[in-house]
């Protein structure tokens, strides 16, 4: 069977194109060999289940692996200690049978346990049986539980974790699990948050014996390139492998689902043409899709209003937010995959997520109920000539509208909202045939670089707060460097100038081989 890019469920190297997991598996096995208990905590569709399945196969020679999935348990299985007792015993029994290491005596002991009355069906008895199972096994036993979030609202799960903690503490006294691996989105301390509101209690996690899991689950540039090389060897498309790998990495920061989905769209919707143009078309398709990942992504902003406010200020105001895992809001946005840590600051995880956030904020009824958005709707038909976007004319018209509508506003208003209003003006003009993203490396309170992709053509617009001629020369030099990187000869600047003697309008400046077109408001 011909392999394909998969975004529905776990991946299998025999059926799907995927990155090589051997390096990660080797690192995880080192943790297991040391007897560590830990949590693989990552956002949705980040490859956790794929990793656990590959890990089970990787460990097969040295260990017996009991692989469970809490999605197989119903909500009634968590309602009482007795019901959880029986459900968990059932799942462990099936997993042990699949591994073919459970004896008839252990089977009979478990049957007797499950016949106990509800008042006698205690987790302590179940864990006595688990110790007997581990003692009799010829190989050391590993326990892996996927989708532990399914148990997040139930006190019995916390009692279960407490029993696991006891196993860990007494592992030198009798034979127990060599390692326990839990996988899910929520951290264990966040599970307690969902049960009780008492701050002191919710930080007192029963899983405080867990070792930190520091192994990256994101795809590296080299891993993406190796995956594409496998595809190219089988299909001979004349792909520029490193160029495509770099584009995938630049737009996704290695988020597994996003990498695979873009590749999938290129193959299925763009006839497996691996060019920059087909890549950008595939990104545009992805940005317009309603997927489980994006639906979950957006719903969390409404579930946690603080997150929405934080992300708004991060992307529109260019304000740096120091990364601190002890700050609850930061911890949550990282947990859901919106944000990552970079150079001590919290930054949006990738261009795809960032553009999706911009689109969300800019298409809200509040944002669209603005004069500048209405002006763009009236103007939008005049900016495209023979399929090409006239960016200079867009800036020219924006200057006119912005000066008329907001020229008397305060400096603070323009610093915080000026860039948002330009994007509000730009969005309906390019909507349908183009998209944009913000260059995160340059975004701060003084400057933002916007890259617009329209019908296969790219434009770089630098939005900046005017701080004098010396600063202006520095920005012009940086823009020229960006033009060189993108193999472009023309760049654009939009300057928000608070000097009363400023000259509003469009100015042209030639710097070497580059033409800079500056709009001043």
Q: Which of 177-181, 195-199, 246-250 has the lowest mean pLDDT?
A: 195-199
HSE-up (13 A, CA, CB side) for residue 248: 32
pLDDT at 204 over 60: no
Question: What are φ and ψ of residue 255, in 5° steps?
Answer: -65, 115
* Terminal CA-CA length for the chain: 60
Task: Label residues 456-480 b or e (16+ Cβ within 10 Å = b).
Answer: eeebbbbbbbbeeeeebeebbeebb
Half-sphere exposure in the Cβ direction for 488 (13 Å, CA): 20
Per DSSP, the chain holds a count of helices (H) and strands (E) of 21, 14
- Reply yes or no on whether the pLDDT at 310 is more than 50: yes
Per-residue pLDDT, 153: 74
Which pLDDT value is given to residue 435?
85
Give pLDDT, residue 446. 55
CB 122 within 8 A of CB 89: no
Map tokens 């010829």 to a residue: 138
**What token pair was written down for 426?**
């730009």
- Asked whether the beta carbons of 391 and 287 are under 8 A apart, the reply is no
**pLDDT of 200:** 45
Residue 103 backbone phi and psi in degrees, to 5: -85, 165
Identify whether the C-beta of residue 51 lies closer than 8 Å to the C-beta of residue 24.
yes
Alpha helices in 42-103 (DSSP H): 48-59, 81-99
pLDDT of res. 334: 84
Taking Cα atoms as reference points, which of 146, 133, 131, 136 lies closest to residue 44?
A: 146
Per-residue model confidence as pLDDT tens digits over 441-467: 555 555 678 999 998 889 999 988 876
Residue 319: pLDDT band (50, 70, 90) is low
**Dihedral angle at the C-alpha atoms of 20, 21, 26, 28, nearest 10 degrees?**
160
- Report the alpha-carbon distance of residue 223 to residue 19 in Å, rounded: 6
C-alpha span between 433 and 55 (Å, rounded):
43
Of the pLDDT bands very low, low, confident and very high (cuts 50, 70, 90), residue 56 is very high
CA-CA distance, 252 to 254, in Å (whole number)? Answer: 5
pLDDT digit string, tens, across residues 110-150? 888 888 899 989 999 999 999 999 999 999 999 999 999 88
Q: Is the pTM of this model over 0.75?
A: yes
pLDDT at site 392: 97
Determine contact, residues 422/398, Cβ cutoff 8 Å.
yes
Say whether pLDDT at 324 is over 60: yes
- Helix (H) or strand (E) holding 64, with range, is strand 63-69
pLDDT at 186 over 70: yes
| Between residues 506 and 199, the one the model is more confident about | 506
pLDDT reading at 426 higher than 90: yes
H or E element at residue 75: none
Dist. CA 158–CA 156, nearest whole Å: 5
Report which of residues 467 and 194 the model is more confident about: 467
The pLDDT assigned to 415 comes to: 62
36/46 Cα distance (integer angstroms): 22
Arithmetic mean of pLDDT over the chain? 88
Residue 187 clears pLDDT 80, i.e. is over it: no
Does residue 199 register a pLDDT over 80? Answer: no
Distance CA 133, CA 176 (A): 8
Given its phi and psi angles, is residue 344 left (phi above 0), alpha (psi -120 to 50 degrees) or beta?
A: left
Q: Is it the case that residue 185 has pLDDT exceeding 70? A: yes
* pLDDT tens per residue, range 466-514: 766 666 788 888 899 889 988 999 999 998 887 777 788 999 999 999 9
Q: What is the pLDDT of residue 182?
A: 95
Q: Which residues are CB-contacts of 17 (< 8 A; sequence separation ≥ 6)?
A: 3, 4, 5, 6, 227, 230, 231, 260, 263
The pLDDT assigned to 443 comes to 56
Between 433 and 492, the higher pLDDT residue: 492
The band of 49, judged by pLDDT with boundaries at 50, 70 and 90, is very high
CB contact at 8 A, 228 and 260: no
Q: What pLDDT was estimated at residue 132?
A: 94
For residues 123 and 81, is the Cβ–Cβ distance under 8 A? Answer: yes
On the question of pLDDT at 414 being above 90, the answer is no
How far CA 247 is from CA of 197, 324, 360, 411, in Å, comes to 44, 30, 24, 37
Q: What is the mean pLDDT of residues 359-387?
A: 88
pLDDT at 416 (0 to 100)? 64
Token pair, residue 505, equals 């309008």
Q: What is the pLDDT of residue 201?
A: 43
Name the E strands within 89-242.
Answer: 140-146, 179-184
Neighbours of 105 (CB within 10 A): 10
pLDDT of 384 strictly over 60:
yes
Distance CA 442, CA 445 (A): 10
Q: Is 193 helix (H, G, I), strand (E, B) or coil?
A: helix
Token pair in block for residue 447: 């400057």
CA distance 185 to 49: 12
């Amino acid at each position: 069977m011909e392999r394909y890019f998969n975004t529905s469920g776990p991946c299998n190297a025999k059926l799907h194109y995927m990155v090589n997991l051997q390096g990660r598996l080797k690192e995880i096995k080192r943790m297991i060999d040391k007897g560590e208990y830990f949590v693989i905590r990552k956002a949705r569709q980040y490859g956790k289940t794929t990793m656990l399945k590959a890990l089970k196969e990787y460990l097969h020679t040295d260990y017996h692996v009991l692989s469970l999935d809490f999605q197989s348990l119903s909500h009634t299985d968590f309602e009482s200690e007795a019901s959880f007792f029986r459900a968990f015993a059932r799942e462990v029994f099936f997993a042990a049978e699949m591994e073919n290491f459970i004896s008839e005596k252990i089977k009979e002991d478990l049957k007797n346990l499950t016949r106990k009355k509800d008042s006698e069906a205690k987790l302590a008895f179940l864990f006595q049986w688990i110790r007997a199972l581990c003692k009799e096994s010829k190989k050391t036993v590993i326990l892996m539980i996927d989708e532990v979030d399914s148990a997040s609202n139930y006190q019995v799960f916390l009692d279960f974790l407490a029993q696991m903690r006891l196993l860990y503490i007494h592992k030198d006294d009798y034979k127990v699990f060599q390692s326990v691996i839990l996988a899910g989105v929520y951290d264990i301390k966040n599970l307690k948050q969902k049960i009780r509101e008492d701050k002191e209690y919710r930080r007192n996690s029963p899983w405080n014996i867990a070792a930190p899991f520091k192994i990256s689950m994101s795809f590296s540039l080299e891993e993406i390139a190796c995956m594409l090389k496998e595809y190219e060897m089988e299909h001979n498309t004349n792909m520029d492998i490193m160029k495509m790998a770099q584009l995938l990495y630049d737009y996704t920061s290695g988020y597994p689902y996003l990498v695979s989905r873009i590749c999938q769209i290129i193959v299925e919707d763009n006839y497996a043409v691996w060019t920059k143009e087909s890549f950008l078309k595939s990104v545009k398709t992805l940005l317009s899709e309603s997927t489980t990942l994006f639906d979950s992504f957006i719903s969390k902003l409404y579930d946690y209003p603080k997150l929405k406010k934080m992300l708004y200020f991060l992307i529109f105001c260019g304000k740096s937010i120091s990364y601190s895992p002890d700050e609850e809001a930061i911890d949550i946005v990282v947990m859901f995959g919106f944000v990552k840590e970079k150079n001590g600051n919290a930054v949006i995880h990738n261009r795809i997520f960032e553009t999706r956030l911009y689109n969300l904020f800019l298409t809200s009824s509040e944002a669209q109920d603005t004069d500048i958005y209405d002006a763009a709707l009236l103007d939008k038909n005049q900016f495209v000539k023979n399929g090409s976007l006239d960016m200079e004319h867009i800036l020219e018209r924006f200057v006119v509208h912005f000066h008329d509508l907001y020229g008397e506003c305060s400096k603070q208003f323009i610093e915080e909202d000026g860039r948002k209003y330009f994007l509000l003006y730009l969005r309906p003009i390019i909507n349908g045939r183009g998209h944009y993203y913000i260059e995160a490396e340059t975004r701060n309170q003084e400057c933002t670089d916007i890259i617009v992709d329209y019908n296969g053509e790219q434009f770089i617009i630098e939005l900046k707060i005017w701080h004098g001629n010396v600063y202006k020369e520095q920005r012009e030099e940086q823009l020229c460097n960006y033009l060189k990187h993108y193999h472009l000869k023309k760049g654009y600047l939009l300057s928000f100038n608070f000097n009363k003697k400023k000259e509003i309008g469009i100015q042209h400046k030639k710097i070497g081989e580059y033409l800079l077109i500056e709009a001043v408001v």
